[in-house]
Amino acid sequence: MTTTLPQAATKEALLDVHHIKKYFPIKGGIFRRTIGHLKAVDDVSFSVYKGETLGIVGESGSGKSTLGRVILKLMDPTEGEIYFNGNEISKLKQREVRPYRRDMQMVFQDPFGSLNSKMSVAELIEEPLVVQTSLSKQERKHKAIEIMEKVGLRADDRMKYPHEFSGGQRQRISIARALIIHPQFVICDEPVSALDVSIQAQVLNLMKDLQDDLSLTYLFIAHDLSVVKHISDRIAVMYLGRIVEIAPKKALYDNALHPYTQGLLASIPVIETEETGTKREKVRITGDLPSPVSPPSGCPFRTRCPMAHERCSVDRPELTMVGDDEHYVACHLYT
């Protein structure tokens, strides 16, 4: 079982996740009986400290988005505990979770799919205020205009509909909608992956500015390591439903320990010139991601790892701190 990561003495955790699992039953046969489970998230533990951005990266199918939805109780965990501000929320029913919704919000990947096309921008942004507060119509309008201007939208566009905006503007609407009730914690599920590169930078810079202005804490999910590097303080790397490495941003990029992390970093395109002589050692990740229905025994990455040995097929490595900079890795090379 994965060891729960200790908290740094000088940091206060806003979110604590302990041994979270999310298994989806697979039905088969005439009577639709459960014949197996898809292990989307398989024993994950970590903390998110107040005011920081924890990035989560990994290939498609690694369980990143499922983990985010479980944390927000959009899905119930199969096992494990989730603590928000010291209160356990993992076993609460949906109506009992509602008071926490004000402090926990989510920005989704597709800004068009996450916005109701039949509602105006004013209705979309004000809806959380209608559900969570008793403010008057005029007060809601004032707050909506205030947050629209803060995210770079014009107040004159309040009565327009989502299809009248560009992709970047729609994502700004989604951000405004998430932030209008002043949450403490925001999960960003690949919020810029559907945007052009130039717009990505604008939205990321906006999110960093909003974090400083509104004292926000982010869990930032992405598959692009360059994007995560720009916004994160610490980074966790997921593979096949498990965290295989977690470290401060600089430690991870300067000295990645897990072979999977090294392979991800090596896949980032680098421009090499005669003047700079820029080179990066290539660590190739071969093969396809194994099925989460029947993951490999021992280390889940062993079937694709160039450094796998006999122990990797028998024992599943636990997250272990290497060095003194809160750098954790789950790999037998370091145990």
Structure tokens at 270: 């680098």
Predicted local confidence at residue 3, as pLDDT: 52
User: Per DSSP, what are the bridge partners of residue 234?
Assistant: 54, 248
Predicted local confidence at residue 61, as pLDDT: 87
Residue 154: inside a domain? no
Q: Determine how many CB atoms are found less than 10 A away from the CB of residue 286.
A: 9
Predicted local confidence at residue 1, as pLDDT: 47
Residue 60: inside a domain? yes
Residue 290: inside a domain? yes
Predicted local confidence at residue 172, as pLDDT: 94
Predicted local confidence at residue 163, as pLDDT: 92
Q: Give me the average pLDDT of each 10-residue run along the chain (335 residues).
A: 52 94 91 89 96 94 94 94 95 89 90 86 94 92 95 93 92 95 95 86 94 96 89 95 95 93 84 52 75 91 91 93 88 90
Lay out the sheet containing 242-248: strands in order across.
104-107, 185-189, 217-221, 53-57, 234-239, 242-248, 328-329, 320-321
Closest CA to 145 of 171, 161, 126, 162: 126
Q: What is the pTM for the complete model shown?
A: 0.90
Residue 141: inside a domain? no
Structural domain total, the chain = 1
Predicted local confidence at residue 325, as pLDDT: 77
Cα gap 62→58, rounded to integer Å: 6
Q: Which residues contact 184 (CB under 8 A, 6 or more apart)?
A: 14, 50, 85, 103, 104, 215, 216, 217
Structure tokens at 167: 């992709």
Residue 280: inside a domain? yes
Residue 128: inside a domain? no
Residue 330: inside a domain? yes
Residue 191: inside a domain? no
Q: Give the CA dihedral 108, 109, 112, 113, nearest 10 degrees.
A: -70
Closest CA to 267 of 286, 243, 291, 283: 283
Give the pairing of strands 328-329 and 242-248.
antiparallel
Helix (H) or strand (E) holding 65: helix 64-71
Range of the domain at 18: 13-99+224-334
CATH code of 36's domain: 3.40.50.300
